[in-house]
Amino acid sequence: MSSGNTNFKNFKVQFNGGIESSSSVKSFKWLSVCDTSEIESFNIKDQIQTTKQAIQDAKQQQIDNANKLLEERRKQAQEDAQQVKDAVEGLKNLFKPKNSNTEIESPAEE
């Protein structure tokens, strides 16, 4: 009943019927004082402060993650905009006349 614990406590159980079912227990009583020294005690104020700090840390982590994601998306948008500008410039150059500065020679008159 101790799950490996060497501290044993005496108790008294009265059954109302068989011991196969926990609903058969009529009464239960500790016959010795329980040693509660191994049970972790906590201060409610400390617990509240720890919880508040954990919430603040989680909140800051979410803010940091959102800012990081926003910055990554901003950089990607700038790269995409530059690619569009380059593509537009490429299309302009594609439709530009190749020899815009050369004059067309007319046939010589004889």
DSSP letters, 20-52, are: SSGGGEEEEEESS----TTSPP--HHHHHHHHH
Most distant pair of Cα atoms in the chain: their distance: 136
What span, in angstroms and rounded, lies between the C-alpha atoms of 70 and 79? 14
Tens digits of per-residue pLDDT, 55-107? 999 999 999 999 999 999 999 999 999 999 999 998 888 888 776 555 555 55
Q: Which pLDDT belongs to residue 11?
A: 77
Tens digits of per-residue pLDDT, 59-68? 999 999 999 9
What span, in angstroms and rounded, lies between the C-alpha atoms of 91 and 75? 24
The tokens for 40 are 């972790």
- The 10 Å Cβ neighbour count of residue 25 is 13
Question: Where are the domains positioned within the chain?
Answer: 42-97
Q: Which residue has the higher pLDDT, 88 or 110?
A: 88
What is the pTM for the complete model shown?
Answer: 0.43
